[in-house]
A and B are shown apart, each in its own frame.
Chain A
Amino acid sequence: MSENVRNEVRKQRFLNGEMTQEELARRVGVTRQTIIAIEKGKYNPSVALALRIARVFGLAVEQIFSLPEEE
């Protein structure tokens, strides 16, 4: 079962000097397609990958990834 996880990856890329998907992918060790899938919410990254992405932006992982608010 996969749960939709909201993410701020695209926003953080632009806040960090308009970093390209290719650059982020290279720095966290995945393909650009994986970054695209994460940004579109089609793929939830592993904890390790989420931590690597958070480290690139210098943020805590929950500042980038969060669960949708329960209604």
Chain B
Amino acid sequence: MLINPRGETLKKKNLIIGITVVFPSIVAIAIFVYGFISWTLRVSFSNWNSFSSLLRGIYKFVGFRNYERLFQDYRFQTDLWNTLFFTIFFLLGTIALGILMATLVDKGLKGSRIFQNLFLFPMAISFVVTGTVWSWIFAPGTLPNNPQGINLLFTKLGLEKLMWGWYTSTDSLGHFNVALIPVIIAATWQLAGYTMAMYLAGLRGIPDDIIEAAKVDGANEWKIFWKIKMPLLTPITLSALIILGHISLKIFDLVFAMTGSGPNFVTDVPAIYMFELTFRSNRYAMGSAIAIIMLLFVAVVIIPYLVTSLRGGKR
């Protein structure tokens, strides 16, 4: 390729302009994201567990003591189990429902456009609103005589056997607190539509001729779905897992508005505990430790994705 001197200066000029445009945001991100992450990390290794020690500002390094205390803490242990089960069921629920709705809408039946929008609407609502409304729906009322919400519906339908305490229940199966079920339902309701939108985009991107070819070869709908569509949708599933996974690991507002920590912390999550430790107990170091642990969780999910997608970009 021929390089004329003019082109080179243009390139240089572009480079300078590019850097000047990007520079402020790089600085801002360096300070407000990475700077504060390292500050939080520093606080999490300190003894700043009261307002006065924070204010005095004398830094005393205590190593992993805050982390040790957290992992011995009954509430934090419950939080970790809750996060695990919430994430698993929430991901399964949203992805299964998302695929189902996307497939139905993709069939292009009459009125599918309306449903496509209807399914997507919940995503536009804030988590706080969702939480408040679902907390009314799943409020059990005083059983068995004065049911409320969904329990009342069951009574009207003659399904009294299905009534239970929902998020006020303190039962658990192994480490899974059943009170999480209504929270998972609410979260799934909110984000299944979004997952549907992602899959729908994926499905519409599959060329018709592949499907046609499969049909000619005698594959039925079921086989086409599992052997052709699903493998082609793998990148979509991966993105959905990442996006939904990091939402569920960090979830705060939905749970806070819907159930709070719950009796015996059955619906507590690390983010709520972090908030209470920091802003109610003034235990800033312990709160920071939870923040760092949550960051690590999210990193475990995000970093492999970033690595693969960056590699993909190079290719």
**Bind each other:** no
